Structure 1
Amino acid sequence: MDTALVITIVVVLVLIAAAAVFAVPWQRSRRLRSRFGPEYERAVREHGDRRAAERELAERERRHSELRLQPLSDDARRRFETEWDSVQERFVDSPESAVRDAHELLDRLMIERGYPAGDDDRRIADLSVEHAGTVGRYREARAASERSTGGDASTEDLRSAMVHFRALFHELLDGGSAASAASDAADPGDPAAR
């Protein structure tokens, strides 16, 4: 066999191997970026390193796969809907307590669906696997709810918190249906949003 041909074959094989070595992490990054959306970028900022962020996101997926998430019974679903309507109606007269009650109701809904109780940070991380587009807004709503306890949240902050809580509430209740997406944009005091 000609030496030039052997060198060419070796170079081609090395290039193929190098491409494979770089393609696997690239594909993983692309998959995680697609699945987690803004949560991917948040994790990279938080960790300061793409690889560390991707390890954490992959760990979230692994933990999430072990959860025993379950749909709500029809009775539970109706109970949660009724409670949400009541909380939302109170928003106009008492926005601080309505936001606090919405937050508590959402926590109960998450636990009933099978998300872990107790560790809020872990629950949020677990939520991000299926609700990556909403979990960032949920974090903002939680922060506004906590600020309102100290009297540091404006009415607009509280209105925004209700809208964000409602978005996740409906995703968890409906599984992300088109009806929930339409209600996300509506004002919490708007009777048509109920």
Structure 2
Amino acid sequence: MSSGMLVVLVIAVVVALALLGLLMWPAVRRRRLREKFGPEYDRTLQEAEDRKTAERELAQRERRHAELELRELPQERKEQYLTEWAGVQEQFVDHPAEAVVAADQLVTTIMSERGYPTEGYDQQVADLSVEHANTLGHYRTAHEIATRRDGDGASTEEMRTAIVHYRELFQDLMNGHTTQHTKEAKS
């Protein structure tokens, strides 16, 4: 085989591998997003026009999340929040509706202290989905009950369910850790 044929063969192999990589990239990206976002991937896919739009939305969330300056809670703050959470649970016995509001406020306060923007529920969900996708369904359910407790008049059992769901996100935020893509908090 001549050196000219060998060069052509090498170029053909490189081009074939590049094309294969381009063809496989969407599947690799899809699998990575599905693993990272878990049930949130499927939810976003259902709400979007198509898969490409859904995946673009999730990638956009990752980019925004990477710009957040998330931080761990200091141990003394964790202890304070654990005490506050115990108070929320005690409050539920006599005042369930107020306890649900307090749980929502406490979770929002912790999000804010960790560095998550808290300007609106939809943005909170999008930001949390990157690192807390597995507990996001709990937050959605709790928030839905909390927002209708006055309107439809959520039952005491539904409010108890909301507290249980808020507890899942509360624990995740308390025990969660920032990822390597997250900037360290500035002193």
TM-score range relative to shorter protein: 0.7 to 0.9
- Give the residue type in structure 1 aligned to 2:29: R
| Aligned-pair identity (%) | 49
Give 1:44's aligned residue. 45
Aligned-partner Cα distance in 1 for 2:96–2:113? 25
Aligned-partner Cα distance in 1 for 2:144–2:77? 28
Give the 3-state SS of the residue equivalent to 2:94 in structure 1: coil
* 1:16 Cα deviation after fit: 4.3
Give 1:67's aligned residue. 68
The total of aligned residue pairs comes to 173
- Give the residue type in structure 1 aligned to 2:138: R
* 1:17 Cα deviation after fit: 4.6
Counting only pairs closer than 5 Å after superposition, residues 177-188 of structure 1 correspond to structure 2 as: none
Report whether the alignment pairs 1:86 with 2:87: yes
Give 1:135's aligned residue. 136
* 1:96 Cα deviation after fit: 1.2
Structure 1 length-normalised TM = 0.80
Structure 1's 78 and 13: CA in aligned 2 closer, same or farther, altered over 3 A? closer
Aligned-partner Cα distance in 2 for 1:21–1:15? 10
- Give the residue type in structure 1 aligned to 2:154: A
Return the structure number with greater relative CO, CA threshold 8 A, min gap 6.
2
Give 1:95's aligned residue. 96
Report whether the alignment pairs 1:114 with 2:81: no
Aligned-partner Cα distance in 2 for 1:83–1:28? 41
Structure 2 length-normalised TM = 0.83
- Give the residue type in structure 1 aligned to 2:89: Q
Aligned-partner Cα distance in 2 for 1:12–1:173? 51
* 1:79 Cα deviation after fit: 1.4
Root-mean-square deviation over aligned CA pairs: 2.3
